[in-house]
Amino acid sequence: MRLVLLGPPGAGKGTQATRIVDRFSIPQLSTGDMLREAVAEGTEQGLRVKHIMDRGELVPDDVVVSVVAGRIDHSDAANGFILDGFPRTVVQAEALDQELAARGIKLDAVLELEVDEDALLDRIRGRAEEAASRGEPVRPDDNPEVFETRLHVYREQTAPVTEYYRSKGLLNIVDGLQPIVVVTEQLAAALAALPSLQIRSEIQ
Ligand code: AMP
């Protein structure tokens, strides 16, 4: 099962992706995590993208496309994956289609978490406060100023990706403001309804 999980920053994509991973035994491919790893390791690519990420802007399309293309060839992704945080532009969505077509595979579905912007700002404040209270480092891009930039970037560059997938008949939208378990249930129901996938059991 090959999935894309869309939604604005702070919508709960990471949380829901983890829950889908547990149920379907497919890896979560998070471009944000992969890029943060490159930054932490101090690789050449990490050094190149760190300042872009810290500002809440998008890393160039060719960089993320090559990261994802390399990752989907790993053996753990042979039976499927859930892409979290990718694609974030229509150019990336088109490049993904080409990469998949070159491998003779295609997406089964796109899941989108819909959340309004005020709720997102509250969530991002909460996320930063919780990390700080646990003594964990706060993501440099999880502060209200950078978050505004990330939302702006989402509106301008990522929102059109929704239309791209809607036009292909792949889009399933779920209200991301509901409790975590309810969101997961609705995502699972959307997957169960896919004609190509007869998934019978429920996500725990
Ligand atoms: P995330 O953890 O998904 O919120 O991503 C954190 C940051 O990594 C983003 O604000 C971007 O700077 C960068 N990033 C992650 N995924 C992408 C992508 N698909 N395209 C461009 N930049 C990305």
pLDDT in tens, 130-181: 888 898 877 777 777 888 899 999 999 999 999 999 999 999 999 999 999 9
CA of 80 to the centre of ligand 1 (A): 21
The pLDDT, as a whole number, for residue 42 is 95
Greater confidence (128 vs 90) lies with 90
Residues at CB less than 6 angstroms from ligand 1: 9, 31-32, 35, 52-53, 56-59, 64, 85-88, 92, 141, 150
Q: How far apart are CA 109 and CA 42, in angstroms?
A: 35
CA of 135 to the centre of ligand 1 (A): 24
Q: Which atom of ligand 1 is nearest to the CA of 84?
A: 3
Q: Is 179 exposed, middle or buried (0-12, 13-18, 19+ CB in 10 A)?
A: exposed
Taking residues 73-85, report their average pLDDT: 94
Structure tokens at 64: 């993320």
**In the chain, where the domains are located:** 2-116+170-192
How many Å is the Cα radius of gyration of the chain? 16
- The least confident of 6-15, 28-37, 56-65, 123-132 is 123-132
Q: Which atom of ligand 1 is nearest to the CA of 52?
A: 12
What's the mean pLDDT when you consider all of the chain?
91
Greater confidence (104 vs 147) lies with 104
Domain 2-116+170-192 = CATH 3.40.50.1370: no
The pLDDT, as a whole number, for residue 197 is 63
Structure tokens at 141: 């891009």
